[in-house]
Chains A and B, each alone.
Chain A
Amino acid sequence: MTAAVIVFPGSNCDRDAAVAIEHAMGKAPIMVWHRETDLPDVDLIVLPGGFSYGDYLRAGALAARSPVMSEVVARAKTGVAVLGICNGFQILTESGLLPGAILRNAGLHFVCREVALRVENNRTKFTDRYDLNEVVYIPVAHKDGNFRAVPETLDRLEGDGLVAFRYCDDDGDPGDSPNGAARNIAGILNDAGNVLGMMPHPERVADARLGGTDGAKMFDGLAKVLA
């Protein structure tokens, strides 16, 4: 399988994602500059974390209009797996591939810490290696992670199994979210299940040396499912 990592001006977790992908898949991803209008033939597209365009205007708003994004949207519609992490999640909501909007954290501060997440749906390309309701520990690092949508959308996301991860406590019960997100939502899928946006950074816990491997399971799972 082949993966691509899209690099926007201001992306800063592009290398981290590439390292985690290469570790899981045994092959380095293709790094694609945002001005490209063509995408190579790939099985996975990653929109990495960072501060594309400095978060100016709104986090993700400018990157969503980058030349490469029309092709990312087109590929997503054909079923190619797209993973948006942190700023990547913000770009996915701004580009309309995922519903809702992501606002400033309720506490107004940037928050960088490990959080507990409950796996809400393990029948996806991204979460195949996790158990349902498993509690995993993955760090967040953002100032704008407060996921919001109208109640009907939230109901539909929950009803259709499109919530992938929820912030929880060590026992898997609803806990303090780091950002005040609606219904403790940390990550969501599109209707077809091939696009995942999440605020936590799985690529930061894909190496035991860095304090955990709960994120490696996502990349290992993708490697297996997309092989």
Chain B
Amino acid sequence: MITSNIPAMALEFGLSRSEYELTIEILGRQPNITELGIFSVMWSEHCSYKSSKKWLRTMPTEAPWVVCGPGENAGVVEIGGGKVAVFKMESHNHPSFIEPYQGAATGVGGILRDVFTMGARPIANLNSLRFGSPDHEKTRHLVSGVVAGVGGYGNCVGVPTVGGECTFHKSFNGNNLVNAMTVGIADADKIFYSKAAGLGNPVVYVGSKTGRDGIHGATMASAVFGGDAEQKRPTVQVGDPFTEKLLIEACLELMATDVIVAIQDMGAAGLTSSSFEMAGKGGLGMDMDLDKVPQRENAMSAYEIMLSESQERMLMVLREGTEDQAAAIFEKWELDFAVIARLTDTGRLVLRQHGAVVADMPIAPLGKASPEYDRPWTAPERLEVIGLDDVPPLDNPSQALKTLLTSPDLASKRWIWEQYDHMVMADTVGGPGGDAAIVRVHGSQLALAITTDCTPRYCQAGPRQGGRQAVAEAWRNLNAVGARPLAITDCLNFGNPERPEIMGQFVSCVEGISDACKALDFPVVSGNVSLYNESDGQSVQPTPAIGGVGLIDDLDATASMAFDGPNDVLVLVGDTTGHLGASLYLREIAGREEGAPPEVDLEAERRNGDFVRGLIQSGRVTACHDVADGGVYVAVGEMAMANGEIGADVKLPPDAGTPHGFLFGEDQGRYVVAVREMVARAILKEADSAKVPATVIGNTGGDSLTVDGDWAISVSDLRAAHENWLPNYMAQD
């Protein structure tokens, strides 16, 4: 590793020529290898957001209930009762493709740390997974490893995995996406931040020892894959959920005292980014003795210690003189505890090892000079709207329903979520499989509703509408269980930003997200960007995954999608034109990936959502489901399958024209609501005065699904086929 050819090293570390010259300007000399490593990870795309920050700044991040927006470890919103919800979603795409089990596991570990670093007890995990085509030779192996890794970590730590999504598309053949979200609860007056303060205060390292794993992981995650992805396996970290569990308990125990000044987890770029971030935010310096850093292996170099991404480690600044009190807690939990640095007023990070200074770098200039690019981008092409008469009509709508419900994207994901402990902590009121998970705030009547959403094929077909739709769908899913949507976290997964068309997708999706956040009062409070999800020139479909959090004030006023009984009236809320462009019907039945995605009318979205939430809160809804992939008939089918026995008859409206548009079109802003017959008329009247389109489209009953009394398909058969697809697929060799 020791080499005198620093300029060549710089390129190998992923720095551009001009970035390397900047390091010389900042230091006033050539950097040594340790310093060069630090520059390269701090300025990597993964840590610096150099391609994206110009656009991230344009997103709405404020609302009266937002306590802390982007820039800290996680976002914070008020939920009443003196409590706050703390949450964030993060990607672990590149490592999960190289080594699916550990990549996914450490993704979960990392996001958990982001949340408990802020003083919150994690109460729920979710994940958004995108895999390549089921026909691709690697897909089964990746699904198996990622699911086992997510479960292996979350189950052991004892935080329930309550929801998520999983879809497949060939664009992910060479780059799967693994996005993990954690939600925690903290006392509103006990939130911890990362800004260091207090000259001379001790800087303490806690958790696992530092080893030679994950060195340069952040750099690996900032490049496209060629054919050599597997050779990058040594850059993937190895997780230890047992240590994480101890770390959670020890940190929360210490946080109950008043000794912590600032705290930051060691995530990407490990000790480097955590020390720069804490000292940088406080405008201070740090004098660090690397010999004090707990090490797993002998003779680690300064470079290795600073660049290691060993997991389950935290850095904190304590009040002077409280070291023994803090050490006792970590000793009880059998975790390493070491004072490794002191805060200084030099504004520099000075690293010492074996009695010599091995790095000496100014902190503020390194951050300030952190590159920011206004990358060229081209506006995405506007695709034609596909007319209904351009799509062949149906033979049998119920057969089409079955085809859709057994297609990889809509098939039951039970095989996945039964491998996750979704009940531990005994507050999961609504687990996986619903529109949004419902997790009770321990010991109260309050609950959080949580969902993750994105429709990559819409984002591909029309990035701005796709960005809007991702946010709107999250908002809709929270309304559909009766929750008041509060805020989102986003995880923006795209290809290579150096290509103008990819940058154009990014810019347009961000614009779409911003449109929806503004219109729905649903701000972004935390997030993560993952670029370079691209292999051999094939980029993933743009996937801005949205994690939405909403508040349920009264657990007695919620809804689930399962039919409650026969003879209920089905009311469709929202306008239907029969939009089939970029729909699942078009892809799965007609075999075409074409056309503009559905438009998202955000004013209508808001009116319809507010109306449905009000209905649920008024206690008159017996079941509710948003209309998403596959349209109205799929929504009704899912409501029937959730019950398991009760069917429904869907009546085509007289003006439906070609039935496939009405049954399978994916117009946005819609919900199917089941209500008792005697309240249906009043509800339609209320909708009318709220200017919300609402029509009766059928009723529940029988044990089959039918359209105008015809094309019967049994709910139990449909459910069996829907449940069997994934287990059968995973059982193949």
A binds B: yes
List the interface of chain A (C-beta within 8 A of B): 9-10, 12-13, 15-16, 19-20, 33, 49-51, 53-56, 109-113, 139, 141, 143, 201, 203-204, 206-207, 209-210
Contact A10-B245, Cβ < 8 Å, known A113-B418, A209-B429, A209-B440 = yes
Which residue on chain B has the smallest CB distance to residue A54? Answer: B242
B440 touches A51 (CB 8 A): no
Which residues of the other chain, B, contact A49 by a CB distance below 8 angstroms?
424
Contact of A55 among B156, B334, B424, B429 (CB under 8 A): B156
B245 touches A112 (CB 8 A): no
- Check B245 against A204 for contact (C-beta < 8 Å): no
0 or 1 for each of B419-454: is its CB under 8 Å from A? (1 = yes): 111111111110000000000100000000000000
Sorting the interface of chain B by its residue count into under 10, 10 to 19, 20 to 34 or 35 or more gives 20 to 34
Q: Are A54 and B241 in contact (CB under 8 A)?
A: yes
Query: Which residues of chain A have C-beta atoms less than 8 A from B420's C-beta?
Result: 110, 112
A109 touching B334, Cβ below 8 Å: no
Contact A10 to B418, CB < 8 A, known contacts A54-B241, A56-B242: no
* CB pair B419 A16 closer than 8 Å: no
Task: Return chain A residues, CB-CB under 8 Å to B148.
Answer: 109-110
Is B538 close to A, CB under 8 A? no
Contacts of A53 in B (CB 8 A): 242
Residues on B with C-beta less than 8 A from A204 are 423-424, 426
Q: Is the CB of A201 within 8 A of B419?
A: no
Residue numbers in B under 8 Å from A111 (CB-CB) = 418-419
* 4 closest cross-chain pairs (CB), A and B: A12-B158, A54-B242, A16-B426, A51-B156
Q: Does B246 contact A (CB under 8 A)?
A: yes
CB nearest neighbor in A for B417: A112
Given known pairs A51-B241, A51-B242, A141-B155, the reply for A15 and B423 (CB within 8 Å) is no
Q: Would you list which residues of chain B between 384 and 429 have a CB under 8 Å from chain A?
A: 417-429
Please provide the chain B residues from 144 to 202 with a CB less than 8 Å away from any CB of chain A in the complex: 148, 151-152, 155-158
Mark contacts of B485-513 with chain A using CB atoms, 8 A cut-off: 1 yes-contact digit, 0 otherwise: 00000000000000000000000000000
Residues of B within 8 A of A56 (CB): 242
A56 to B152, CA, bound (A): 13
A207 near B419 (CB under 8 angstroms)? no
CB-contact partner of B423 in A10, A55, A143, A210, under 8 A: A210
Which partner residue on chain A sits nearest B415 by CB separation? A109
B418 touches A112 (CB 8 A): yes
Contact yes or no, B155 A110, CB < 8 A: yes
Chain B residue numbers with a CB within 8 Å of A54 are 156, 240-243, 245
> Is A201's CB under 8 angstroms from B423's CB?
yes
Residues of A within 8 Å of B611, CB to CB, are: none
Residues of A within 8 A of B711 (CB): none
Apart from A54-B242, A112-B419, what are 5 other A-B pairs with CB-CB below 8 Å? A110-B148, A110-B420, A112-B155, A143-B155, A206-B426
Q: Which residue of B lies closest to A108 (CB)?
A: B148
Q: Could you name 11 residue pairs across A and B whose Cβ atoms are closer than 8 Å?
A: A10-B245, A12-B425, A54-B240, A109-B148, A110-B155, A112-B417, A139-B423, A141-B421, A203-B426, A204-B426, A210-B426
Question: How far, in whole Å, are A210 and B431 apart by their CA atoms in the complex?
Answer: 10
Q: Chain B residues with Cβ under 8 A from A109's Cβ? A: 148, 418-419
Indicate whether B377 reaches chain A with its CB closer than 8 angstroms. Answer: no
**Which residue on chain A has the smallest CB distance to residue B155?**
A110
Q: Are B155 and A209 in contact (CB under 8 A)?
A: no
The listed residue (B240, B245, B423, B555) touching A141 by CB distance below 8 A is: B423
Contacts of A50 in B (CB 8 A): 158
Residue B725 at the chain A interface, CB threshold 8 Å: no
Residue ranges of B at the interface with A (Cβ–Cβ < 8 Å): 148, 151-152, 155-158, 240-243, 245-246, 332-334, 417-429, 440, 555
Closest to A9 in B: B246
Chain B residues with CB below 8 A from A209, complex form = 429, 440, 555
Q: How far, in angstroms, from A209 to B442 measured CA to CA in the complex?
A: 12
Which residue of A is nearest B335, CB measured?
A: A9
Establish whether residues A15 and B242, one from each chain, have CB atoms under 8 Å apart when the complex forms.
Answer: no
Among B152, B155, B332, B421, the most chain A Cβ lie within 10 Å of the Cβ of B421
> How many whole Å from B328's CB to the nearest CB in chain A?
13
**Known contacts A54-B240, A54-B242; A112/B158 CB under 8 A:** no
Task: Give the distance to chain B from A64, nearest Cβ to Cβ, in Å.
Answer: 16
Nearest CB of chain A from residue B558's CB, rounded to whole Å: 11
Q: How far is the CB of B165 from chain A (nearest CB, A)?
A: 18
CB distance from A53 to the nearest CB of B (A): 7
Which chain B residues lie closer than 8 Å to A110 at the CB level? 148, 151-152, 155, 419-421
Given contacts A10-B156, A51-B241, A54-B241, contact A15 B425 (CB under 8 A): yes
Can you name the residue of chain B whose Cβ is closest to the Cβ of A35? B332
A51 with B429: CB separation less than 8 A: no
Give bound CA distance, A168 to B422, whole Å: 22
Of chain B, the residue at the smallest CB distance from A178 is B418
Distance, CA A55 to CA B421, complexed state (A): 16
Q: How many angstroms between the C-alpha atoms of A51 and B420 in the bound complex?
A: 14
Measured CA separation A113–B423 after assembly (Å): 9
Chain B residue with the shortest CB-CB distance to A19 = B426
Task: Compute how far the CA of A50 lies from the CA of B155 in the bound complex, rounded to whole angstroms.
Answer: 8
Question: Closest residue to B154 on the A side, CB-wise?
Answer: A110
A215 to chain B, nearest CB (A): 10
A contact residues around B555 at 8 Å (CB): 209
* Distance A110 CA – B421 CA, assembled complex (angstroms): 8
Measured CB to CB, the closest approach of chain A to B611, in angstroms, equals 27
Which B residues lie within 8 Å of A19 (CB)?
Answer: 426
* Residue among A12, A19, A51 with max Cβ neighbours from chain B (10 Å): A12
Closest residue of chain A to B432 (Cβ to Cβ) is A112
- Chain A nearest CB, measured from B410 CB (Å): 21
- Report how far A16 CA is from B423 CA in the complex, Å: 10
Q: Check B426–A207 contact: CB distance below 8 A.
A: yes
A191 to chain B, nearest CB (A): 32
Partner of A12, one of B245, B427, B440: B245
A141 near B424: Cβ-Cβ < 8 Å: yes
Q: How far is the CA of A203 from the CA of B333 in the complex (A)?
A: 25
Closest partner residue, chain A, to B428 (CB atom): A210
B424 contacts across to A, CB distance below 8 A: 12-13, 16, 49, 141, 204
Return chain A residues, CB-CB under 8 Å to B333: 9
Nearest CB to that of B420 among chain A residues?
Answer: A112
Q: In the bound complex, how far is the Cα of B417 from the Cα of A113, in angstroms?
A: 9
Q: Could you say which of A20, A33, A201 has the most chain B C-beta atoms within 10 Å of its C-beta? A: A201
CB distance from B60 to the nearest CB of A (A): 35
* Nearest A residue to B152, CB-CB: A110
A111 (CB) vs chain B CBs: closest residue: B418
Question: Which residues of chain A are near B158, meaning CB under 8 Å?
Answer: 12-13, 50-51
Q: CA of A56 to CA of B242 in the docked complex: distance in angstroms?
A: 9
Q: In the complex, what distance in Å separates the CA atom of A33 from the CA atom of B331?
A: 14
Nearest B residue (CB) for A17 = B426
Contacts of A210 in B (CB 8 A): 423, 426-429
Chain B residues lying within 8 Å of A20, measured Cβ to Cβ, are 426
Q: What's the Cα separation between A51 and B334 when bound, in Å?
A: 16
Q: Name the B residues within 8 Å of A201 (CB-CB).
A: 423
B332 partner residues in chain A, CB cutoff 8 A: 33
Chain B residue nearest in CB terms to A112: B421
User: In whole angstroms, how far apart are the Cα atoms of A55 and B242 in the complex?
Assistant: 8
Q: Inside 8 A of A55's CB, which chain B residues have their CB?
A: 156, 242
Alpha-carbon distance A19/B426, docked complex (angstroms): 9
CA–CA, A204 to B158, complex, Å? Answer: 13
Give the contacting residue for A51; candidates B155, B417, B423, B428; CB below 8 A.
B155
Chain B min CB distance to A190 (Å) = 27
In the assembled complex, the Cα of A150 lies from the Cα of B245 at a distance in Å of 35
Contact assessment for A51 and B245 in the assembled complex, using a CB-CB cutoff below 8 Å: yes
Cα of A10 to Cα of B335 in the assembled complex, Å: 13
Q: Are B242 and A10 in contact (CB under 8 A)?
A: yes
The answer to whether A112 touches B429 (Cβ under 8 A) is: no
Distance, CA A170 to CA B334, complexed state (A): 45
* CA gap between A50 and B440 in the complex, in Å: 21
Report how far A207 CA is from B418 CA in the complex, Å. 21
Contacts of A143 in B (CB 8 A): 155
